[in-house]
Structure formats: C-alpha cells, structure tokens
C-alpha cells in the first residue's frame, strides 16, 4: 500500500502539473504579425516556420493583428503587440513596418517594405540595417514608373492619357505619385490621378476615371488594392475599358 506521506506527495505533484504546463506555455516565444490588410501572408509565415520546426501551440505562439486596409489602425495594433511582449514582430506592407518601428525600439522587427526603407528612416542602410529592424524591400514604388512605360507600349496611341488609381493613405503615396508623374512627363503622356483609400470609394473612383477619358489605367502598388478581388483582377497595369 501507498503510505500516507507518499500519497500526499503524489497529490502535490499532480496538482503542480497544470501550473507547470501554464508556466511552460507562458515561456513559449511569441511571434507577432502586423498586417496592413487581411491576406494569407500570416498563414504563409506560419507554414514556413512550421517547416523550420516552429509549430504553433507546441513550441511557439502566434499573435496576429490585421488592419484590413484601414491604415490608421496600425499604430494601435502595433502598440497592442508590444504590450503582448512578443518575441519578434513580423510586418507586411510599408505602413505596417513604419507603425511597428514607431511602436518599439527593442523588439526585433522583420519587415516586407514596398519602397526604399533607408529613405523612410526604417533602417540605416541596406547592408547594415542597425537597430532592431531588418527585412526585405520590393521597391514597388519604383516599379510604378516602369508600368507607365509598359502601358505606353500596350496602348501606343493613348490619346486620353493614363489614369492612376492611388491610395493617398499609404505611406508610399507621395513617392508613387512622383514616380508616375516623372515617367509620364518623360513620355509626353497626360496623367489623371484618382484616389481610393476605402472599399466604398471604388465605385466613385472608377466613375471619375471614366469621365477623364483615359486610354489606360495603372493601379499603384498597394497592399489594400491587391487584397481586393475587384482591384486584384486588374493587375498593376491594364488597358482601361468601361468593363473595368
């Protein structure tokens, strides 16, 4: 038979198991994800980490915060992840990266950035980022000027000029606008810039584009645009028609 002292010891050990389990759970590293839009990027990150041996709930915890295109919410969402004391903060989209940078100087940040991160003060230099921030840049803003040239080739007789759909709430908007204006000026093309920064502005934006008589449409690189089926089906550069 089990002696009384041994029985009490066994009960004490059993009672400690949930406490130990909670302590182990609390000690797991937390990967925070801050997204400018609601896409499957968080899912892709999780699958990639899983392939590297980091499985959610087993040896890592995931915390996602998504702005769903409402960039003004990013500062609050970033602050929430900082309060959660995440181990690392992964961002997608230039606005998310800048919000994370403003929220913490100590938590490591890994970004995907659409413009020059040095120009925006995100890193010190490309080869030596410095601080707590590192990542990759897609330079999509610079590609917008290339798309203007592509549209000129697709529609050589663009008598109505080119319309540009731009999200003025994006941190890259000014850079994108400058790029396309310079490219259009060099090619002698008339430019019509129309803003759409929310779902309910799309219809009025397309109506405004139709009124300009533009011969082609360029959709500026923006996470919000390409997360929406209505815009994503157009692509970065397309000939414009009433069906668009």
Q: Quote the CA–CA distance of 234 and 236 in Å, as a whole number.
A: 7
Decide if 107 contacts 86 (C-beta within 8 A).
yes
> For the chain, which residues make up each domain, given as ranges?
25-137, 140-239
pLDDT (tens digit, 0 to 9) for every residue of the chain, 244 residues total? 444 444 333 333 434 444 444 444 457 999 999 998 877 788 888 898 899 999 998 999 999 999 988 899 999 999 999 999 999 999 988 899 999 999 999 999 999 887 788 888 899 988 889 899 999 887 766 778 888 988 888 888 888 899 999 999 888 788 889 889 999 999 999 999 999 988 889 889 999 999 999 999 998 888 787 666 555 444 344 433 333 3
Per-residue pLDDT, 2: 44
Per-residue pLDDT, 26: 56
Per-residue pLDDT, 69: 85
Q: Cα dist. 36→57, 93, 137, 227 in Å?
A: 25, 6, 16, 10
Lookup result for tokens 């500062």: 75
Decide if 39 contacts 223 (C-beta within 8 A).
yes
Question: 25-137 is classed in which CATH architecture?
Answer: 3-Layer(aba) Sandwich (3.40)
| DSSP helix, strand, coil percent of the chain (3-state; round to 5) | 45, 20, 35
Strands 216-219 and 237-239: antiparallel
Task: Note the Cα 28 to chain centre separation in Å.
Answer: 25
Per-residue pLDDT, 228: 61
25-137 and 140-239 share one CATH topology? yes
Nearest Cα residue to 71 out of 171, 175, 196, 201:
171
Q: Quote the CA–CA distance of 82 and 163 in Å, as a whole number.
A: 40
The CATH H-level superfamily of 140-239 is: Response regulator (3.40.50.2300)
| Helix count and strand count (H, E) for the chain | 9, 9
* pTM for this entry: 0.67
Per-residue pLDDT, 237: 41
Lookup result for tokens 């413009």: 115
Q: Which residues of 78-95 are buried (b: 16+ CB within 10 A; e: fewer)?
A: bbebbeeebeebbbbbbb
Per-residue pLDDT, 134: 93
3-class secondary-structure state, position 231: helix
């Amino acid at each position: 038979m089990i002696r009384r002292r041994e029985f009490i010891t066994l009960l004490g050990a059993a009672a400690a198991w949930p406490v130990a389990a909670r302590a182990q759970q609390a000690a797991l590293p937390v990967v925070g994800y801050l997204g400018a839009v609601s896409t499957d990027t968080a899912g892709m990150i999780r699958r990639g980490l899983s392939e590297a041996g980091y499985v959610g709930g087993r040896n890592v915890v995931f915390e996602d915060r998504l702005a769903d295109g409402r960039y003004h919410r990013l500062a609050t969402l970033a602050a929430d992840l900082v309060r959660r004391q995440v181990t690392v903060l992964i961002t997608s989209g230039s606005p998310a990266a800048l919000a994370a940078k403003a929220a913490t100087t100590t938590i490591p940040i890994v970004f995907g950035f659409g413009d020059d991160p040095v120009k925006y003060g995100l890193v010190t230099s490309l080869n030596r980022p410095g601080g707590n921030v590192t990542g990759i840049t897609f330079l999509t803003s610079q590609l917008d000027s290339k798309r203007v040239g592509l549209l000129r080739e697709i529609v050589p007789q663009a008598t109505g000029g080119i319309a540009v759909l731009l999200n003025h709430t994006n941190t890259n908007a000014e850079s994108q606008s400058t790029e396309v204006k310079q490219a259009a000026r060099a090619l002698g093309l008339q430019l019509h810039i129309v803003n759409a920064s929310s779902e309910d502005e799309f219809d009025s934006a397309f109506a405004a584009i139709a009124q300009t008589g533009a011969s082609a449409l360029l959709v500026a690189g923006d996470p919000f645009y390409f997360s929406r089926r209505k815009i994503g089906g157009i692509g970065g550069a397309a000939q414009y028609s009433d069906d668009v």
